[in-house]
Amino acid sequence: MTIQESAGARPAGRPRSEKAEKAILEATLDLIGEGMGVSELSIEAIAARAGVGKTTIYRRWSNKEDLVVDALATLKAPLPPLAGVSVRDDLITLLDAMRSEAGQTRTRCVMNIAMSESDRHPRLMERFMQRAIEPRRQAMRQVLVRGVETGELRADLDVELAQAMLTGTMIWHNKWGPVAGLPDDLAERLVDEALRGMRA
């Protein structure tokens, strides 16, 4: 077999169907969003909703928890690109992404139901935190550390506490904010208030 023939050869086994995978992930989120807790959720119910066989699911995920983690992760948009010019602008970008996600009713509903069982499924929550939450925490941590190094922020800034203050306040507004929705400039207002005490 020539190199060209080898490169063009199809791998052994049935190719993965993106359509089936998307249907499975959507079915999982739909069932959770309708009030089915993670404990009640079954591969059978997901397969029936997605219109696929159980074997199609097990070819992709070895267990229910892995599937739920992947489904929940799809609710998180990719990290927004950061300009890297000023701490203020980058923090606003990160917090505004949080505000936008919270504005989606389905996302909020699914996450609330899934997180309510974190004590019963610690491994699931741990994996979700590692996959979907920690990259966002790391991005904000890097912005704050950079601000300290460039002199934009106080040299004695407690980076972990500053991060917790910013994200915690946004989470509080997301959960308990006005019923009509969060104001478009909320991220900007939060960052400007926080920077009053964080600037060098």
**R_g (Cα) of the chain, nearest Å:** 21
Phi-psi region of 35 (alpha: psi -120 to 50; beta: other; left: phi over 0): left
What pLDDT digit, counting tens, does each position of 73-118 carry? 999 888 999 999 999 999 999 999 988 887 677 887 888 888 888 8
- CA atoms of 148 and 102, how far apart (whole Å): 29
Domains of the chain, CATH where assigned = 16-63 (1.10.10.60), 87-198 (1.10.357.10)
Sorted by sequence, the CB contacts under 8 Å of residue 151 that are 6+ apart come out as 200
Of 46, 76, 40, 49, whose CA–CA distance to 61 is shortest?
Answer: 46
More confident call, 108 vs 4: 108
CA distances from residue 130 to 72, 124, 138, 158 in whole angstroms, order as listed: 12, 10, 11, 23
Report the length, in residues, of the chain.
200
Query: What is the maximum alpha-carbon separation in the chain?
Result: 68
- pLDDT tens for residues 133-144? 999 999 999 999
Give the Cα separation of 114 and 132 in Å (integer): 14
Backbone angles phi, psi at 199, to 5 degrees: -70, 150
Closest of 194, 192, 172 to residue 182, by C-alpha: 172
With both helix axes pointing from N to C terminus, report the angle between 87-102 and 159-176 in degrees, rounded to the nearest 10.
30
| C-alpha dist (Å) from residue 173 to 34, 143, 176, 178, 180 | 24, 22, 5, 8, 12
Burial of 199 (0-12, 13-18, 19+ CB in 10 A): middle
Contact predicate 51/23, CB 8 Å: yes
At residue 104, the pLDDT reads 77
* Percent of the chain residues past pLDDT 70, beyond the cut: 89
- Which position has the token pair 């920077």? 195
The tokens describing 80, both together, are 């927004």
Query: Residue 132 above 80 pLDDT?
Result: yes
